[in-house]
Structure 1
Amino acid sequence: MSRPEVPLPQLHAFTVLAEELHFGRAAARLGIAQPPLSQQIRRLEEKVGHPLFDRGSGGVALTAAGRELLPAAQRALAEIDAGLRAARSVGGGERGVLRIGFAASLALTVLPDVLRTYRRRFPDVELDIREMTSSPQLDALRDGALDIGLLREPPHDTPEFGFRTVLREPFVAVLPAGHPLASRRAVPVAELADEPFVLLPRAVGPQLHDQIVDLCAQAGFTPRIAQRAVEWQTMGALVQAGLGVTLAPASIRRIHLDGVAYRRITPGDARTRVAVAWRRDDHSPLVANLLSVVGEQV
């Protein structure tokens, strides 16, 4: 690409002098002395090949060549200024497209607050929000199809990703409302040993799946899986239909289903971890700004 024939300082000096029509005022506005301003104008006139200003006793006036050049010079400077503003905005993460994946249950917890705060702070960033389970999110991050993931139970053996914990929430037992255990305030996990379970497929959330199975193992049994479902709302509906029970993050209680009871479990020290995920080699200011907002929510 060829360099511009006329340096921008010369165009700037020309437009300011054309607006002021007074060397002293133009020099003051430019923050320079009059001799350097005169030199800039002379160099520009040499490139044009004709005078741009009449410098008579009656003051400074544009010549025909100057009047012809002025609109083009103003447009060029305006375009450069707009380009600089746009570059600063993109470079600061204030514009662009941010692609965010999220596990469905996070719409019941941290996601609304994070997006509300981010949108208020960066209103010109376009958000591409995609509902995805945890494993597909990691695949999409790895392939560059996502910039940020919000997921449960991030894996421990993925050094290419960064993870920041946003929330740790307890588990609850999800039971048909008419179930004998629904009359209790808290349900011992061991008393679910003979119940059919509704559980998410391991392929879509291996860490969370294994955590629930481990809770059962610690209570002395292996859950008998009768039904599988990807979404928590679907699991709740299957429990409502009497097809089984499940253990789920406590935020599932925000899904109000008639005929479904949510009860604390004992022991109650188990927690499921919610984290934001990103590629460690992604230094995008869009990602950095989202991580900053998430940090404020923790």
Structure 2
Amino acid sequence: MLAAGAQKERPEGGWPDFFEEVEVSTLDFRLIKQLWMFLAVAEEQHFGRAAKRLGMSQPPLTEQIKVLEQSLKLQLFDRSRRGTRLSPAGAAILPSVKRFAEHVGQLESVVREVAAGQSGVLQIGAINTAMLETVPPLLNWLKETYPNLTVFVREIDSGEAIPGLEAGELDLAFVRLEGELGSGISTMTLKEDRLAVAVSVDHPKASLPRIRLKSLEDEQLVMSSRQVSPVYFDMLVSICRSHGFVPRVLHEVRSVASQVAYVSCGQGVALVPSSMRKLAPDNVLIRPLKEKVTVVTAALAWNDHRYHPIVAAAVAWLKARGRSS
């Protein structure tokens, strides 16, 4: 986050203060507070400690948990002289309540920062490599240009970009995407690299200065998962088909770094960007292809159907930066 609004102190682990301040007829804030109480008791496994954490006395907490159980028609805790433990029903809903609490916490931050005079909020999703290389310069520019802007950055897979942009959960996505994506999603290539082959040092092809793509037809390949990055996966398969073979995929993994790690463990060979030679361990060699095949390693995506002035400015800045580099 680039800027933070002031927050009123509250007991650590307590519910967000805006539960006390906001009245919205369409939301049941009593239920939200009760779920927050449930989470505290579930984590503390003790009503007294949970009450202290929430900044309240124990009897009202006990009463509110009973009201919640009656509303849900579920027994959430097993109570005995030995202590308080989650019931099977309570354990079943706990993961969802935790996710809900995380979202509410983020909502509180956004509400408070906007209320404190922030000029806007920008949600950015990025793959790991983009978070290391591409996103930081943009964040520095945003901080200088829009000092009152609040920016949230979170790691995503390339496959999460389009749904996130369509739903408005993301304003900008830095991922491996290219081509026509439909649904008003626009992309801009930020970085390209030549495709190469990662092989273990004891592989028969390790001694070759360059490797023909066609020669990989009998090799077991480690590929970036189609579920994570469908466009990138389909593009690599299409390249292989255009050179006369269907790739034999042994493993689908979540990142290019994972591809290299699998090769390091003797689990096949991998088609990776040439720049991965900087990160390859000693037992993995990155050999260039004889053919010149270029792939997009980083692209910016945004939703043209959801106008955001900061998005437009960021796109323009990245375009200008690309022309000058």
* TM-score, structure 1 as length reference: 0.63
The superposition leaves residues 106-140 of structure 1 with CA deviations (integer Å, 9 ceiling, x where unpaired) of 34543343334333433442321121122211111
Question: Which residue does the alignment assign to 1:215?
Answer: 239
The aligned runs of 1:44-83 (5 Å cut-off) are none
- Shift of residue 166 of structure 1? 1.8
CA contact (8 A) 2:189 2:296 kept: no
Output the CA distance in 1 between the equivalents of 2:312 and 2:256: 30
Percent of pairs with identical residues: 26
Output the CA distance in 1 between the equivalents of 2:216 and 2:233: 17
Higher radius of gyration, 1 or 2: 1
Question: Which residue does the alignment assign to 2:309?
Answer: 285
Question: Which residue does the alignment assign to 1:175?
Answer: 199
Output the CA distance in 2 between the equivalents of 1:134 and 1:218: 24
RMSD: 2.4
Question: Which residue does the alignment assign to 1:248?
Answer: 272
CA contact (8 A) 1:104 1:232 kept: no
Question: Which residue does the alignment assign to 1:113?
Answer: 137
Output the CA distance in 1 between the equivalents of 2:183 and 2:266: 42
Matched, 1:196 2:196: no
Matched, 1:158 2:178: no
Runs of 4+ deviating beyond 4 Å: none
Match of 2:154, as an amino acid? Answer: R
Match of 1:126, as an amino acid? Answer: T
- Shift of residue 195 of structure 1? 1.2
Output the CA distance in 2 between the equivalents of 1:184 and 1:120: 49
CA contact (8 A) 1:101 1:131 kept: yes
SS in 2 for 1:182: helix
CA contact (8 A) 2:200 2:284 kept: yes
CA contact (8 A) 1:196 1:224 kept: yes
Matched, 1:271 2:289: no
CA contact (8 A) 2:178 2:299 kept: yes
Output the CA distance in 1 between the equivalents of 2:202 and 2:135: 32
CA contact (8 A) 1:189 1:215 kept: no
SS in 2 for 1:99: strand
Output the CA distance in 1 between the equivalents of 2:318 and 2:129: 17
CA contact (8 A) 1:187 1:263 kept: yes
- Shift of residue 158 of structure 1? 0.9
Output the CA distance in 1 between the equivalents of 2:228 and 2:121: 26
CA contact (8 A) 1:108 1:254 kept: no
Output the CA distance in 1 between the equivalents of 2:280 and 2:272: 14
SS in 2 for 1:187: coil
CA contact (8 A) 1:108 1:252 kept: no
SS in 2 for 1:130: strand
Question: Which residue does the alignment assign to 1:184?
Answer: 208
Output the CA distance in 1 between the equivalents of 2:280 and 2:136: 18
CA contact (8 A) 1:105 1:251 kept: no
Question: Which residue does the alignment assign to 2:320?
Answer: 296
SS in 2 for 1:186: coil
Output the CA distance in 1 between the equivalents of 2:138 and 2:289: 29
Question: Which residue does the alignment assign to 1:238?
Answer: 262
Instruction: Point out the more displaced range, 179-188 or 105-114.
Output: 105-114
Instruction: Point out the more displaced range, 206-215 or 263-272.
Output: 263-272
Q: Sort the Cα spacing of 1:96 and 1:273 in 2 relative to 1 into closer, same or farther, 3 A.
A: same
The superposition leaves residues 162-205 of structure 1 with CA deviations (integer Å, 9 ceiling, x where unpaired) of 22222222211111122222222321111222211111221221
Choose which of 243, 263, 285 in structure 2 pairs with 1:261.
Answer: 285
Gaps of 5+ in 1: 1-85
CA contact (8 A) 2:191 2:298 kept: yes
